[in-house]
Copies of this chain bind each other. A is one copy, B any other.
Amino acid sequence: MIIIGGGFGGLAVQRRLTGIDARVALIDRQNHHVFQPLLYQVATASLSPASISAPIRATINDQAECDVVLAEVKGIDPDRKRVIFDEGSVGYDYLVLAAGATHNYFGNDDWAPHAPGLKSLSDATEIRRRLLLAFESAEHEGDLESQRAELTFAVVGGGPTGVELCGAIKEIATHTLPREYQNIDPRAVRVILLEGAPRLLGAFPEELSARAKRDLEDLGVEVRLGTQVTEINGDGVRVGDEFIPAGNTIWAAGVQANPLTKDLGAELDRSGRVIVGSDLSVPGHPEIFAIGDLVSYTPEGSEHPLPGVAQTAMQMGRFVGDTIRDEIRGTRTRDQRGVFSYHDKGSMAIIGKNRAVAAVGDRKFTGFIAWLMWAFVHIAFLVGFRNRIRVMFNWGWKWLLGSHDARLIIGDTRMRIRTPRTDEFEYHAPGDPDRG
């Protein structure tokens, strides 16, 4: 069998395969699993990439033999049962497609260079680079209006990622960076959250959406609801008749399924997600399963498809792993497949220090309690004991001292940097005869 994707879903499948006599391959185009819920902390310079990721080889279940293959899958041939690479292909008996989703600019792909999304470690370090460069550039910008534009961060999309990014950007902009920049007034830093729907965090109870908005506004984030973005370019964002000058735009608005779903010959929703059966297999192909945020699955009795979050992917992965394991062992047949049911363990989003919102069953939590729950859950689910210690240490430090320290700009530093305001800047001592 072949598993495509080493995210939450793919790994969960592999972990259930103990004790089967079959060749298994886990294919990913990266060598590492990423704990996506904390990507925004890499993007905002709180955590290092290595702290929220783990090599896939080090993470898989050793009790289940598995080839880990670092390669990019180019296509799937469901009729010949082969996974296709640039050179050659490999055959499978079972296939699990767990390749995740990517950004969806809803047809406006020209927005992409101006509004990076946040799906991979490279995305996160790119956003971090832009965030830190904006401050470097603004420090030497003499024109106050231009400085203000450079320090304006527009985040498109008010789901958990957008909310968490806004809170974190405001935090680093208010608490850590101003100490080090002499020419930047922290009040000049604008963070604007743009959401098309009438409320934030659409998947949460309305009460928590309202609370998240209030918390963000307390931190100084401008929240604009019911706002459609009609243009994004290097200078800013257009919403309706207004153009907001913003040097930095981040896309947290939409995702689309990995395009491999198109090869399956099955029905897709408008985001490219496969509509799977109750056993999570692809209609017409009982040997192919699809899990995670590239599927659309609406449980019986529900009106909405399951959310594309880590919980969903992990539960689907375990279900599919169990199914395949039992069928290979011969303890169940295809006719005996169960129906996948989702156990909603709740949703949470962090807004800032001591502020979060959480919904667990009918109970709702806000403020410090929700924040503690958030921190506990995220540490508990991080892959790797060592990462847990490191992240706890970093959070403890930040909580006490408020400093961010993964503030590395790696890659091109020249993009937006100007020389200092040249005619004004002369570096002399007062007594120097050459002093300008």
Task: Point out residues on A near B: beta carbons under 8 Å.
Answer: 1-2, 20-25, 29-32, 48-51, 53-55, 57-58, 67-72, 81, 85-94, 121-122, 125, 132-133, 136, 139-140, 180-182, 328, 330, 384, 386-387, 389-390, 393, 397, 403, 405-411, 413-414, 417-420, 422-423, 425-432, 434-436
Contact B85 A22 (CB under 8 A): no
Question: Which residues of chain B have C-beta atoms less than 8 A from A55's C-beta?
Answer: 180, 405, 407-408
Contact B86 A419 (CB under 8 A): yes
Contact B419 A182 (CB under 8 A): no
Contact partner, A22, options B50, B51, B410, B429, Cβ 8 Å:
B429
Contact partner, A30, options B384, B413, B430, Cβ 8 Å:
B413
**How many copies, total?**
2
Contact B434 A91 (CB under 8 A): yes
Question: Which residues of chain B have C-beta atoms less than 8 A from A432's C-beta?
Answer: 22, 93
In the complex the two chains form, what is the Cα distance from A189 to B52 in whole Å?
29
Question: Dominant SS at the A interface?
Answer: loop
Contact B181 A407 (CB under 8 A): no
Question: Which residues of chain B have C-beta atoms less than 8 A from A411's C-beta?
Answer: 122
Question: Which residues of chain B have C-beta atoms less than 8 A from A85's C-beta?
Answer: 419, 422
In the complex the two chains form, what is the Cα distance from A328 to B140 in whole Å?
25
Contact B50 A429 (CB under 8 A): no
Q: A21-B430, A86-B419, A390-B393 are in contact. Are A32 and B93 (CB under 8 A)?
A: no
For this complex, 26 residue pairs linking A to B, each with C-beta atoms less than 8 Å apart, are A1-B429, A21-B429, A21-B430, A23-B427, A30-B409, A31-B407, A31-B413, A48-B48, A48-B49, A49-B408, A50-B405, A50-B406, A54-B405, A57-B181, A58-B407, A69-B140, A89-B419, A89-B422, A91-B427, A91-B436, A93-B428, A93-B432, A93-B435, A94-B429, A386-B405, A389-B393
Q: Residue among A29, A125, A133, A413 with the most chain B CB within 10 A?
A: A413
In the complex the two chains form, what is the Cα distance from A71 to B92 in whole Å?
53
Question: Which residues of chain B have C-beta atoms less than 8 A from A406's C-beta?
Answer: 50
Question: Which residues of chain B have C-beta atoms less than 8 A from A92's C-beta?
Answer: 426-428
Q: Given known contacts A24-B427, A49-B408, A49-B410, what 6 new A-B pairs fall within 8 Å (CB)?
A: A22-B427, A53-B408, A72-B413, A87-B422, A89-B419, A122-B410
In the complex the two chains form, what is the Cα distance from A67 to B54 in whole Å?
39
Contact A427 B89 (CB under 8 A): no
Contact B25 A427 (CB under 8 A): yes
Question: Which residues of chain B have C-beta atoms less than 8 A from A68's C-beta?
Answer: 139, 180
Contact B2 A69 (CB under 8 A): no
Q: Residue among A384, A429, A430 with the most chain B CB within 10 A?
A: A429
Q: A22-B428, A87-B418, A405-B58 are in contact. Are A386 and B397 (CB under 8 A)?
A: yes
Contact partner, A125, options B22, B94, B410, Cβ 8 Å:
B410
Q: Residue among A31, A94, A417, A422 with the most chain B CB within 10 A?
A: A31
Tell me how far the C-beta of A405 lies from the nearest C-beta in chain B, rounded to whole angstroms.
6
